[in-house]
A and B are shown apart, each in its own frame.
Chain A
Amino acid sequence: MDFQLTDEQVELQRIAREVAERECPPSLVRAVVEEDADVDALGKTLVDLEWHGLTVPAEDGGSGATAVELVVVLEELGWAADPTPFLATTTQHLPLVRDCLQGAVRAQRLAAIAAGSPGAAVHSPGTIAARADGDGWVLDGSAPHVLDGDRADQLAIVATSDDGVGVFLAPGDKATVVREPSVDGSLHLTTVHLDGVRVPWERAATGPAVAAAVERAHEEAVTGLAAVMVGASQRILDLVLDHVRQRHQFGVPIGSFQAVKHMAVDLYTAIERARAVVHFAALTIAEDDDRRRLAASIAKAAAGDAQRIAAQHGIQLFGGLGYTWENDLQLYLRRAKAGEMLLGTAHEHRLAASRLVLSDLTTTEAAR
């Protein structure tokens, strides 16, 4: 396996870090949290860079890059606790549109996404029902914890119909969207209510193939969120390293104490471990490898492990200085923790990964 970013990918990473640092400083994230400052300038920068269309095929107006390029960008945006709807649009909404919908609706929506139109995914087949009625579908139901439901031009809704699980594209303003309180104040979590929302036939897709595509889309969402968590954990490590190099006690930098060093190394190792499996998960998506489902779960599990140590060691190593609102540490810690709570915790993904591997073992054993 050639497990190394290409020169182009390294360059993209460098640009993404530069943009994250310059356009999304802690002061912006803090202003969003404290006074709901607008994020339009940052959003426009991301549009100008054409990153929304990274995984939109070139023939549909995107740049036809792969999931690897996208996670490279997402990690840097996670590092900066990006307050725009980029994550929801590119990793949750976009794959559903690209891989489930058809024809002109799909083409137009993909072009719009590539041009920066925000979208969200309402993935709740258990609580949202679609029934056929006249010239289309009618959707009813509610879904909690929808990322950026309040900022989406369009919602890609995964609901249950008579024809099985389907994907339905509806304008955001047709839904009633309520912002949920969240410890991560720059992340828009919402509850989406659909009350007789009509979706024309051509804006929907149902059937067994769609159900499979929905699962695959979910793997992109999980991998994308894991990348954000790796970035946020990396930011915490960066802040901690700066702190323990500069902070002196007993006449020496506290970073010279082995107890401190070993905690920092454990965090570093956890991040490297997570980054490796996140890149692998992206690669399995890019090459449509059989292991993509397993890879997405271990990516989320490892990112979960990293954020756990990041939060724990991050606050502890900053001491009292980390226990303040003023310290930027808390901004990234909240993003990392939010990532853990969404789309399945590390524990849940470890269980999912185990089941996949054990079922393979059983199959191999049976074949003998």
Chain B
Amino acid sequence: MKLAFDERTEAFRREFDAWLDANAPAPEETTERPRSTAHIPEWARRWQRKMFDAGWLVPGYPPAFGGRDASLLEQFVHREELARRGIYASFNPQGLSIIVPSILGFGTEEQKERWARPILRAEITAALGMSEPDAGSDLAGLRTSAVLDGDRFIVNGQKVWTSGAHDADVILTFVRTDPDAPKHKGISVLLIPTDTPGVTRRPFGSIQGKVDCDFNEVFFDDAVVPAENLLGALHEGWRVATGSLGHERAMLWLEYSERLQELVDRGGQVLLDHGLGDDAHALDWFGRLVTDSHALRLLGYRTLAKTEKGLVPTEQSILKLLGSEAIQRSTLDVLEVLGPDGLDPTVRSAPAEPLNLDVWTEGWFDLYLRTFSMTIAGGTSQIQRNIVAEHVLGLPR
């Protein structure tokens, strides 16, 4: 047990830091903001490609896919430096962190070239079609059907919550290919171009506002998809689902940890600005936030160390729970300090920063609402508790 990483890892961090200092785009280049999680402004496409070409986009990948075969710890400090500086490597986050690893993990060489590399190079963007109106937490209950007909699938059904679908070029879509098999067994995954006839995308506003349109309903009406767009083996889609989401969850805690650190800095400033530096109630919730912030990072470091040793950190599932709920509670704590100012959406929680399309440019109320994306999406807190109870504590189903 040591406070520092090994020297090799720290050298890697310094090298990346120096590259960022020399290559990050200037603020005046970055004024155009993305309108969804699958819309990348031109300057951000150039930025993502620059990282790809330099082998800094996903350092764990081989050079052919924008990396440098970095070790797990090196990949971690890379993420840590990006998060610390509030830099987004990609403005199509689901493309980079879920869809590309799924294609590289389960796809053919042709699929990697045709889909993964263009997503990595920000030539195209991708969306993830998992949830359906009646398949949310119970994802395996999905009903969108794909019937194999010679060398093509005929797809019918509906997805929902498909972030960025209206701006995406392709949707990684989970479909039912064997309606007679047990529900986890009859699922397959298709890469469906969004310009396929029969695919209709309908964006809708979030609780943030009518114009905050990232979510989509996506309808498939006899959409014809070439059989070569099948990712992984037929009926084996559940493996892709667990693989993709597992990848997403492995380092999710780092984003939560950075958010908590930002809450410490920003929330602490709000508290001081309101003359609450000696207020016992304020110091109490702030102390809880400081404790949560440390605890989450430390627990994250522990799972990292275990993973690096080849162990399976089963307790990793508490990180999402702990992080998301701490962020939600603390954001509300800060909001309540503001009083009537908290009602004014133009009172920003932080100044806008280049390369960071972060929630900090919003007011505290909107920021609070957005925390529910953490306690609901990617497995609700209730589902997380069930998982921990059954898989970590060994309680009966």
Give me the interface of A with B, judged by CB distance under 8 Å: 1-6, 9, 68, 241, 244-245, 252-253, 255-256, 258, 260-262, 264-266, 268-269, 272-274, 276-277, 279-280, 283-284, 287, 289, 294-295, 297-298, 301-302, 305, 347, 349-355, 357-358, 361-362, 365
Contacts and interface: CB of A to CB of B under 8 A. Distances in A.
A279 B269 contact: no
B63 to A, nearest CB: 28
10 contacts: A2-B4, A3-B302, A256-B395, A256-B396, A265-B389, A277-B298, A301-B287, A351-B283, A354-B284, A357-B290
B316 to A, nearest CB: 11
B389 A261 contact: yes
Nearest to B300: A3
Interface in B254-302: 264-265, 268-269, 271-272, 277, 280, 282-284, 286-288, 290-292, 294-295, 298-299, 301-302
A294 B294 CA distance: 10
B14 interface: no
Nearest to B381: A262
B272 A301 contact: no
Contact of B1 (A3, A253, A261, A361): A3
Contact of A355 (B269, B283, B301): B283
B392 interface: yes
Nearest to B286: A354
Contacts of A245: 394-396
Contact of B322 (A260, A269, A287): A269
Q: Which of A9, A255, A352 has the most CB of B within 10 A?
A: A255
B2 interface: yes
Interface of B: 1-6, 264-265, 268-269, 271-272, 277, 280, 282-284, 286-288, 290-292, 294-295, 298-299, 301-302, 304-306, 309, 315, 318, 321-322, 382, 385-386, 388-390, 392-397
Contacts of A283: 1-3
A260 B395 CA distance: 10
Contact of A5 (B1, B315, B385, B388): B1
Contacts of A241: 393-395
A284 B292 CA distance: 18
Given A2-B6, A3-B305, A4-B309, A9 B1 contact: yes
Contacts of A352: 287
Q: Which of B268, B321, B322, B390 has the most CB of A within 10 A?
A: B268
Contacts of A265: 318, 321, 385, 388-389, 393
A211 B159 CA distance: 66
Given A2-B5, A3-B302, A351-B284, A362 B272 contact: yes
Contacts of B291: 273, 277, 298, 301-302, 305, 350, 353
Q: Which of A265, A273, A297, A351 has the most CB of B within 10 A?
A: A265
B284 to A, nearest CB: 5
A256 B397 CA distance: 5
Contact of B301 (A1, A244, A357, A365): A1
Given A3-B298, A5-B1, A262 B389 contact: yes
Contact of B286 (A268, A294, A305, A357): A357
Contact of A262 (B269, B271, B286, B382): B382
A82 to B, nearest CB: 23
Given A353-B291, A361-B265, A272 B315 contact: yes
B292 A273 contact: yes
Contact of B392 (A68, A268, A276): A268
B299 A358 contact: no
Nearest to B321: A269
Nearest to A284: B3
A252 B397 CA distance: 10
A280 B294 contact: yes
Contacts of A1: 2-5, 298, 301
Contacts of B392: 268
A253 B286 CA distance: 39
Contacts of A253: 395-396
A248 to B, nearest CB: 10
Contacts of B283: 350-351, 354-355, 358
A353 B4 CA distance: 23
Contact of B287 (A4, A279, A351, A361): A351
A57 to B, nearest CB: 19
A357 B282 CA distance: 13
Nearest to A268: B393
B385 A276 contact: no
A4 B382 CA distance: 29
A48 to B, nearest CB: 26
Q: Which of B1, B282, B322 has the most CB of A within 10 A?
A: B1
Given A4-B309, A258-B382, 18 more contacts: A2-B4, A2-B305, A4-B305, A241-B395, A245-B396, A256-B396, A261-B385, A264-B393, A264-B395, A265-B385, A268-B393, A269-B388, A273-B292, A277-B295, A283-B3, A301-B287, A350-B291, A353-B287
A354 B395 CA distance: 37
Contacts of A255: 389, 395-396
